[in-house]
Chain A
Amino acid sequence: MSQTALRPTRRRISGSRLTLYAVFVLMVVVFAVFADFGKIQRNFFQLDVARRMLPSVLTIAAKNTIIATLLSFSLGLVLALALAIMKRSTIRPYRWIATGYIELFRGLPALVTIILIAFGLPIAFGWKIPGGTLGKGCIGLGIVAAAYMAETIRAGIEAVPRGQMEAARSLGMSKGTAMTFIVLPQAFRIIIPPLTNELVLLIKDTSLFFVIGTTPASKELTKFGRDFMNANANATPLTVIALVYLVITLPLTYMVRRLERAAGKGTR
């Protein structure tokens, strides 16, 4: 591009940038003038309240959140894999089931599904779900997660070139063997970033478990924080659990960004 063509564009950009900076400065000033820092400090940053949350905020609440996330994710992943393969099946009823499942649980609020599973399943089938409230919640959340991950996995499978399946079959591998050893390993490499995103969403969704009731030992972070807040008539516990959530989620989102960059560079 020539110098003369470049110049007006540049000037216009720096003009709009100036406006953006002005808005930013204005926001900071408004916040500084109108916020009541004493009140904020008293309500959200009481060190002695925060100190009383230790160690159970980590040994019970954070632990439960992490366990619930991992259990829901594992269950969701297994279900999602089955759904993704059913959705690609040549047998039509399997495709119907998979599509119905995915549309149903993506269409419902996670909260509703969790309640349905926790209270509905025992009534409908007389099953006793193991693991107490944590177990019930994980099954509900896993079922929801599967609906989202199934589409991701299916997209991953379809992103692997057809020639890979053909080459595997031409060597005499059965469809299942080719899928297991040739297609799926490549598909999962492609979908690790979106799956990690799903994991981050699940961490946050475990906060929905409060609807099915909890015992002191099965509280996850959000429920734990809310109860502590009510008991102390102070919002500091919210600040603490927010920090704990960030300590868990930020490394994961950072990892996703790195993985995505690595995938973008691509060896393919």
Chain B
Amino acid sequence: MNEAPPIEICDLHKSFGDLEVLRGIDFEIAAGEVVCIIGPSGSGKSTLLRCVNRLEEPTAGTVLVEGEDMTDPYADVDALRSKIGMVFQQFNLFPHLDVLKNLTIAQRKVLKRSEAEAVDVATRMLERVGLSDKIAEYPLRLSGGQQQRVAIARALCMNPDMMLFDEPTSALDPELIGEVLDVMRLLASEGMTMMVVTHEMGFAQHVADRIVFMDEGVIVEQGRPEKVLFDPQHERTRRFLRAVQHD
């Protein structure tokens, strides 16, 4: 294991044209820490997450992943990315491949594992998310919750050192949210480093080690869940929490 923190972000800026979405973010996550990022839509939460594995190109600032500069033009971004699992709001499973292939293709092409090893890893990860019986199914024949659990398993197959979750339950029917959160809770309890953008306040309160509240491209406040949720220091945080609780 590396001594450097899994993720270290320094003065990160990101603009889309004239729109400044991130306006100077400093952020660090420790190994095994679970951080939930909350905030109103348009506050830059997802953009921050997507800058970590450079799905978005930062305008300025640095992102260090295990001490290596992700923003360096000469960095081996593909290799760094394979250490960072990512789970998307829309699942983004590969619809032309069955579940097993979804889980093995990156192991084969990126990690150059043998077919036998890739299948073995895939089988174990599918078991962890409780979907062993769906191994031969095609993604679009699964429920949203099942698709998202497969997506988590797909990311885990790469043996990532950390996981990014971009609103993983926002596209799900309410009755399917629980099964996905259960898998995430399991990961957290096993010591996975996790950065989670979410609107699930219950999950944030009970699972996160730290909650970060973002608004208008900056981190407004952060701290222990009970502190941020029940004793917020900033008016903007209070206003957001009131709005969420009125949902």
A181 to B106, CA, bound (A): 10
B109 near A170: Cβ-Cβ < 8 Å: no
Q: Which listed residue, B79, B84, B95, touches A170 by the CB 8 Å rule?
A: B84
Quick check: is B81 within 8 A (CB to CB) of the other chain?
yes
Number of A positions contacting B (CB below 8 A): 20
Contact B81 A167 (CB under 8 A): no
Chain A interface helix/strand/loop/mixed = helix
Closest to B141 in A: A267
Task: Check: B203 CB closer than 8 A to any chain A CB.
Answer: no
Report the minimal beta-carbon distance from A161 to chain B, rounded to whole angstroms. Answer: 8
Question: Would you give the shortest CB distance from B98 to chain A, in whole angstroms?
Answer: 13
Q: Please indicate the chain B residues that have their CB under 8 angstroms from the CB of A169 in the complex.
A: 55, 78, 81
In the complex, what distance in Å separates the CA atom of A171 from the CA atom of B140? 20
Within 8 A of B (CB), among A144-198: 161, 163-164, 166-174, 177, 181-182, 185-186, 189
Considering residues A169, A171, A268, which has the most beta carbons from chain B within 10 angstroms of its beta carbon?
A171
Shortest CB distance A215–B (Å):
46
Scoring A residues 68 to 107 as 1 if CB is less than 8 Å from chain B, else 0, what string do you get?
A: 0000000000000000000000000000000000000000
A164 to B90, CA, bound (A): 10
Contact B94 A172 (CB under 8 A): no
Q: Which of A166, A181, A186 contacts B88 (CB 8 A)?
A: A166
A189 touches B92 (CB 8 A): no
Is the beta-carbon distance between A163 and B96 smaller than 8 angstroms?
no
A168 to B93, CA, bound (A): 9
* B53 contacts A by Cβ under 8 Å: yes
* CB-based contact B81/A170 at 8 Å: yes
Q: Are B158 and A164 in contact (CB under 8 A)?
A: no
Query: B55 and A172: CB pair below 8 A?
Result: no
B4 within 8 A of A: no
Q: Please determine whether A163 and B140 come into contact, CB atoms closer than 8 angstroms.
A: no
Distance A267 CA – B93 CA, assembled complex (angstroms): 14
Whether A173 contacts B110 by the Cβ 8 Å rule is yes
The answer on a CB contact under 8 Å between B106 and A186 is: no
Is there contact, CB below 8 Å, between A163 and B88?
Answer: yes
Among candidates A164, A170, A174, A267, residue contacting B94 with C-beta atoms closer than 8 Å? A164
Closest partner residue, chain A, to B111 (CB atom): A172
Interface residues of B in 113-148 (CB under 8 A from A): 138, 140
**Are A170 and B86 in contact, with the CB atoms below 8 A?**
yes
B-chain residues with CB within 8 Å of residue A172 when the two chains form the complex: 78-79, 81-82, 106, 110-111, 158
Q: Which residue of A lies closest to B83 (CB)?
A: A172
When distances are taken between beta carbons in the complex, the residues of chain A under 8 Å from B151 are: 167
Cα separation A13 to B82 with both chains bound (whole Å): 64
Query: Taking CB as reference atom, which chain A residue is nearest B108?
Result: A181
Does B204 touch A at the CB level, under 8 Å?
no
Complex contact B109–A173 (CB within 8 A): yes
Separation of A230 and B53 alpha carbons in the complex (Å): 71
Contact at B95–A267, with CB atoms within 8 Å? yes
Whether B81 lies near A164 (C-beta < 8 A) is no
Q: Are A170 and B110 also in contact (CB < 8 A) when A163-B88, A164-B92 are? A: no
Q: Give complex CA distance A177, B112 in Å.
A: 13
Assess whether B158 is in contact with A171, with CB atoms less than 8 Å apart. Answer: yes
Q: Does B154 contact A (CB under 8 A)?
A: yes
List 17 other contacts, CB 8 Å, given A171-B82, A172-B81.
Answer: A163-B88, A167-B92, A167-B93, A168-B94, A168-B106, A169-B78, A169-B81, A170-B86, A170-B155, A171-B106, A171-B154, A171-B158, A173-B109, A181-B105, A181-B109, A186-B94, A186-B95
A residues sitting closer than 8 Å to B (CB atoms) are 161, 163-164, 166-174, 177, 181-182, 185-186, 189, 267-268
What are the nearest 3 A-B pairs in CB distance? A172-B82, A167-B92, A171-B106
* 26 A-B residue pairings within 8 Å (CB atoms): A161-B92, A163-B90, A163-B92, A166-B88, A166-B92, A167-B86, A167-B88, A167-B92, A169-B78, A169-B81, A170-B55, A170-B84, A171-B106, A171-B110, A171-B154, A171-B155, A172-B82, A172-B110, A172-B158, A173-B78, A173-B106, A173-B109, A173-B110, A181-B109, A186-B95, A267-B95
